Amino acid sequence: MSTHLRIIWAITLKDITDAIKNRTILTALLSMFFLIGMYRVLPLLESIGEAPNILVYDAGNSILVALMENSRAFKAWTGYQSEAHMKEKLANGQAPELGLVIPADFDAGNGTVLQGYVLYWVNEKDAVALKQRVEAEISRLAGRSISIQLEGNTIYMQPDSSGFGLLAGLGMSFTILMIGVSLVPNLMLDEKQGKTIDALLVSPAGPVHVTLAKALAGLFYAAVTIAVALALYNRLITHGWLTLGVMLCGALFAVALGLLLGSLTESRQQLTVLGWGVVILLFLPMMLVMVRNLLPTWLYAILRWTPSVALLEALRISFSHQPTFALYRLPLALILAWTAVLLVSVAWRVRQADR
Amino acid sequence: MNAIEVQNLTRDFNGLRAVDGISFEVQPGEVFGFLGPNGAGKTTTIRMLTGQLRPTAGTARVMGCDVVTQRDALKPQIGVVFEYQNIYERLSARDNLLFAARLYGVPKARIDAVLKQVGLDERANDRSKNYSNGLKQRLLIARALLHEPKVLFLDEPTRGLDPNVARDIRAFVTDLARQGVTVFLTTHYMEEADRLSDRVAILHKGKIVALDTPARLKAARGGEQTTVAFSSLEDVFVALTGSSLRQTFEE
């Protein structure tokens, strides 16, 4: 056993140290970091210089709402049927936004303290700045001093919330899957193209050692990327262990996919062609799921069975307030089942290629 | 015990017979030259003897280990220098050897010894991508010797090297044989095979058409056509395979 572990570790260690000098791997890794960072900052960059969104639920028929709609200090969104409806929409926010409830008797001069809501991932400084800005503007519009109560009014995402949670889920899924499609097969191709695989196979290492070592190296790269993702999205994550678990399951799937691609291809050209096919098969369902409301029910039911959509859904569930096991068991089971299918295929390929 | 024992070894590729029922033995400490034109089956034979390729029929044992059923026991006993320079070019010679040492479970102290043995100690920390062909070949030999194998397979070890490096490598092979290492050598250079090999097998179309010491092969009469002894191993080769070495090499 210790001999097998020593051999696997030797190959893994070589791959990890070699990566530091390997431009292909380094470029791929840096691209992943850039991608995941871009998904993180793009929504925030978009909102710079823009008036903040205020989602207003008007319980009565307040004149203030009409005045707010014409204000330049913020962009007021109105017309919600209930407070719950407003909160549901607020949970879809991409940038710091404020939800506000105007009580039914506001115009009668009651209600100098309004209930305001912000998403849990908005940092305190931004929340206070937003609150003060809105307080100042609605005090001016109403002609009397109004304050907004935020304490205890935090809004959490739901498993099907869009906005920042969806973007983060997409960014994380995309990055993890790209490790599988681009990095891991390159580890195998490098050995094939340099014919170092022949030297490996006359050493005590066998095809199984090589495959497991490449999987470990792939998991190492995935772990680095996951660490970066968790650091960048730390405010979004409410159940750290669950998000980590989902990402690791995703990484296992990605690595298994990468091993299969690596075992099926003999050149970078082949990998590019096959890789792009796989990218389309993985990412198209995720893109379609983003417009879920426009899809026929049967198509959505099919898309949910694809591993990429399962990963995206599991991540979004992990960001939600109360991710029960009943919610995430199906997507996680799907990811693991796909992983098992891929690993069996890899084992079959390795066995077939072994002499 | 023979270092290598081969009985009726055969390998087919898609219905084509690359190696056709060859049999031979190699004694421990012997330098065994394995010659033949391109496509004769030399590399296929080496791949079978080193456990990379499963024979279609026949058996082969290296240091008593069956190459099919006892691969795990076989691998630590053999070292292979491939006909291509398959090193990790982004790594230095030392890192290449460190990796090999970890694979074989060899103490790190052995790395310096081997680097010195092959004359790579001064460039050990340079990226091997920047090495000349000669230095790369030394690194390949160092890697093959790191775990002190009993049998060393050398596939065209001096091909494309400048004469000085080729001479060093030949001297190296002679030294190894003196130390008791069995050397299985394929080469296109008949003079090299003549000088280094204790015995030579000539392979043609997958079959061994001659197997003896270079001296005896040269002394052998060319059948009914000629009654004079061959002046060189190249003459023997041409007579037996029907192709000139220059033609074979250029192929």
Q: What is the CATH number of the domain that holds B173?
A: 3.40.50.300
**Regarding predicted confidence, which is higher, A86 or B190?**
A86
Residue of chain A whose Cα is closest to the Cα of B96: A14
Chain A residues 43-72 with a CB less than 8 Å from chain B: none
> For residue B11, is pLDDT > 50?
yes
As for how many domains chain B has, the answer is 1
CA neighbor of A180 nearest in space, from A302, A282, A330, A30: A282
**Domain hosting residue B171, numbered range:** 4-250
| Helices A307-319 & A164-178 angle (0-180, nearest 10) | 140
Q: Which residues of A touch B99 (CB under 8 A)?
A: 10, 13-14
pTM above 0.80, yes or no: yes
The reported pLDDT for the residue numbered B91 is 93
Residue of chain B whose Cα is closest to the Cα of A2: B105
**Regarding predicted confidence, which is higher, A106 or A314?**
A314
**HSE, side-chain direction, 13 A CA sphere, residue A232:** 24
Centre a 10 Å sphere on the Cβ of residue A274 and count the other Cβ atoms it contains.
16
A234 touches chain B (CB under 8 A): no
Task: Judge: A14–B100 Cβ closer than 8 Å, yes or no.
Answer: no
Distance from CA of B135 to the nearest CA of A (A): 17
Amino acid in position A260 = L
> For residue B246, is pLDDT > 60?
no
Average pLDDT of span A71-97: 91
CA neighbor of B161 nearest in space, from B124, B126, B136, B128: B136
Reported as a pLDDT band with limits 50, 70 and 90, residue A1 is: low
Q: Please say whether the beta carbons of A104 and A60 come within 8 A.
A: yes
Reported as a pLDDT band with limits 50, 70 and 90, residue A311 is: very high
Distance from CA of A354 to the nearest CA of B (A): 8
The reported pLDDT for the residue numbered A298 is 94
Q: Terminal CA-to-CA distance of chain B, rounded, Å?
A: 38
The reported pLDDT for the residue numbered B228 is 57
Q: Please say whether the beta carbons of A99 and A68 come within 8 A.
A: no
The reported pLDDT for the residue numbered B224 is 47
CA neighbor of A176 nearest in space, from A278, A282, A32: A32
Alpha helices in chain A (DSSP H): 2-21, 23-47, 63-69, 83-90, 124-142, 164-178, 184-193, 196-202, 207-232, 240-264, 268-290, 297-303, 307-319, 325-353
Average pLDDT of span A107-131: 89
Reported as a pLDDT band with limits 50, 70 and 90, residue B249 is: very low
Average pLDDT of span A66-75: 91
Out of A27-36, B181-190, B227-236, least confident range: B227-236
The size of chain A, in residues, is 355
The reported pLDDT for the residue numbered A347 is 82
What DSSP state is assigned to residue B78? E
Beta strands in chain B (DSSP E): 4-13, 16-26, 31-35, 57-62, 65-66, 78-81, 151-155, 182-186, 199-204, 207-212
Cα distances (Å, whole numbers) of residue A313 to A67, A194, A334: 40, 40, 11
Distance from CA of A352 to the nearest CA of B (A): 12
CA gap A290, A285 in Å, rounded: 9
Residue of chain A whose Cα is closest to the Cα of B104: A204
Reported as a pLDDT band with limits 50, 70 and 90, residue B73 is: very high
Chain A residues 70-109 with a CB less than 8 Å from chain B: none
Instruction: Give the whole-number percent of chain A exceeding pLDDT 90.
Output: 54
Average pLDDT of span A134-141: 93
The reported pLDDT for the residue numbered A76 is 93
Helix (H) or strand (E) holding B97: helix B93-104
Task: Judge: B51–A198 Cβ closer than 8 Å, yes or no.
Answer: no
Task: Judge: A206–B71 Cβ closer than 8 Å, yes or no.
Answer: yes
Q: Which residues of B touch A11 (CB under 8 A)?
A: 103
> For residue A42, is pLDDT > 50?
yes
- For chain B, the average pLDDT equals 89
Task: Judge: B84–A6 Cβ closer than 8 Å, yes or no.
Answer: no
Q: Where do the structural domains in chain A lie, given as residue ranges? A: 2-43+160-354, 49-155
pLDDT digits (tens, 9 = 90+) for B138-187: 999 999 999 999 999 999 998 888 888 889 899 999 999 999 999 999 98
The reported pLDDT for the residue numbered B251 is 45
Reported as a pLDDT band with limits 50, 70 and 90, residue B66 is: very high
Average pLDDT of span B35-52: 91
CA gap B3, A202 in Å, rounded: 17
Task: Judge: B86–A205 Cβ closer than 8 Å, yes or no.
Answer: no
The interface predicted TM-score of the complex, written ipTM, equals: 0.88
Task: Judge: B89–A194 Cβ closer than 8 Å, yes or no.
Answer: yes
Average pLDDT of span A282-307: 92
Task: Judge: A355–B52 Cβ closer than 8 Å, yes or no.
Answer: yes
CA neighbor of B211 nearest in space, from B231, B183, B240: B240
Q: Which residues of A touch B75 (CB under 8 A)?
A: 202-204
CA gap A294, B214 in Å, rounded: 82
The reported pLDDT for the residue numbered B244 is 52
